Amino acid sequence: MTSMQGREHETLEVREQAQRVVETVREALDPRTVAAKLDPVGFAPALAGAARSVLTRPVAAARTGLGWGADAGRAGVVSALRAVGSTASGPAVLAERDPRYSDPVWDENAWYWLCRQQHGLLADRLRELTAGMTVDPVSRRKIDFLVGQLVEAAAPPNWPISSPALVQRAFQTGGKSLVRGARNALRDLVQNGGMPRQFTPGELTVGEQLGATPGKVVFRNRLIELIQYAPQTPKVHAVPLLMSPPWINKYYIMDLAPGRSLVEWAVQHGHTVFMISYRNPDSSLRELSMSDYLREGPVAALDAVQRITGAPKVNVAGLCLGGAIATSMVAWLSARGEDRVNSLTLMNTMLDYTRPGMLGVFVDEPTVDRLERTMRKDGYLPAASMKRTFDLLRATDLVWNYVGTNWFQGDDPRPFDMLTWNGDSTRMPAEMQTEYLRTHYLRNELAEGKLELAGERLDLGDVSQDAYVITAERDHIAPWESVYTGARKLGGTVRFVLSNSGHIAGVVNPPSPKSRHWFSETAELPRSSADWRDDATERRASWWEDWTPWIAERGGEQRTPPAFGCAELPVLGDAPGEYVRGS
């Protein structure tokens, strides 16, 4: 290269850098970008619409306010009477079973009784006010969510002045709990984004207490590692089992801890189990699409499983988003004329997004547009954003509970495997995240047979394999009624099972005296989930115990356990691998 060419090349580089700087500054100063950062969910427009609705009905609003004032006054009078020995009842109708108020002091002490009454009255009047608002459905979801968050935040146990636990612990410790609590609050403000810790980092370690089932990494590409677990029985079923976890968090929710691991349970019952472990993506993977996740995730894993075991077909089990991509894979294979999956197990998996539940608050076109803008710089959605969203969906348990114990009472969180996993969040590539939200949540393309991935249009009706669909009655992320609607669209025989758990406990569900589930198996599920529930059979046992004979019937004959890996795919290392440890 001549000196002249070198100078021209340097000039071109300077111009390109300057252009990138200008574009970055322009993007940062764009009002839409500023709005996306300040209000990523679009609460401000919803609140503005709510305010306009209230102003058009001033009489109703005034009636609600006056009613609240009158009831609050009555509660104050009754509180004064209770302070001198009365047992009169207050105007608020309170929930009978709320563990936050199990301490008798909430009834015996007039001040704490009054605080709870006033909170109940506030909640009732806020809901009365918002119920009468005339707003669009998107704004309605956001307003209801905000009211719910306000009501939860205002609960008396969440504030020092109305928390008997704070006072009791302070007396028990001679005030030391207040010092420890202030230290914890300051630490969380600096190190945890102002949110109380749910676990102490380092107490439980992946590969030791978590994700500890023995195995080997037998495949790796830029997106996944594939773990093959060591057999724990002399013979195994001939049909291997591939597990497809969600990539919103790490895979080991399906291999949580000894005695609480679905992987361990399956291995102990004679299955050769493989697990997909997704990489925590960074900016270099910003352009990964849903088609990339399909091809480089479950399809690549299926290829590897069949090469290692020689099995013509594989049983597949997927959880949440991992279940949706697994189902998409089966439909994709069907569209290509490939019959490589023997059965499908879906855990807390939505296939129809008509009623997305509480997550619908965060998924509408303007909100997705805002999200797209906020991800442009780094090329991914930060892990903390995902975790914060899911925490707010259960704010009483996952936020305010720890404000009370950590900040008010000065305790450190106890080691808990599920919350340690919950805090081990992952980033989401920008392209995949927006594509997933638009095609699934906004346009419901998978359920309607319009979704195209990797060159094929997917039809759930083409998923003709036997399916075991497990869902949870207290699932706040994948409502069981929505899971049911999607299960009806599958083309094979479906055993639909409802457990008495939540989204995570519905998976981590080892046999327990408290476990129970409802089930039915039919070629055609009833049209409505309510009809199914009326006809379902109850069994007092974990769904793991129901699934075990079902998957065994589809596991094939017994054989000698296959070796780890094969000539094409040699062992790369011990489980749990490298990707799960990536930060």
Catalytic amino acids? 320
How far is Cα 375 from Cα 386, in angstroms, rounded to an integer? 13
- Report the 3 state secondary structure along 389-422: HHHHHCHHHHHHHHHHHHHHCCCCCCCCHHHHHH
> 406, 194 in Cβ contact below 8 A?
no
Residue owning tokens 């929930």: 95
Phi/psi at 29 (5° precision): -90, -5
How far is Cα 45 from Cα 7, in angstroms, rounded to an integer? 52
Q: How is residue 10 written in tokens?
A: 């340097």
> 449, 286 in Cβ contact below 8 A?
no
- Report the 3 state secondary structure along 147-168: HHHHHHHCCHHHCHHHCHHHHH
How far is Cα 130 from Cα 40, in angstroms, rounded to an integer? 22
How far is Cα 359 from Cα 510, in angstroms, rounded to an integer? 28
296 class by beta-carbon count within 10 Å (0-12 exposed, 13-18 middle, 19+ buried): middle
Cβ-proximal residues to 209 (8 Å cutoff; 6+ apart), any chain: 257, 417
Rounded CA Rg of the chain: 27
Q: Where are the alpha helices (DSSP H) in 241-382?
A: 262-268, 290-294, 300-309, 321-335, 365-374
Q: Three-class SS of residue 274?
A: strand
SS3 content of the chain, % helix, strand, coil (to 5): 50, 15, 35
How far is Cα 296 from Cα 325, in angstroms, rounded to an integer? 11
Q: Three-class SS of residue 359?
A: helix
Q: Count other C-beta atoms under 10 Å from residue 575's C-beta.
A: 24
Q: How is residue 225 written in tokens?
A: 């590692």
How far is Cα 269 from Cα 235, in angstroms, rounded to an integer? 10
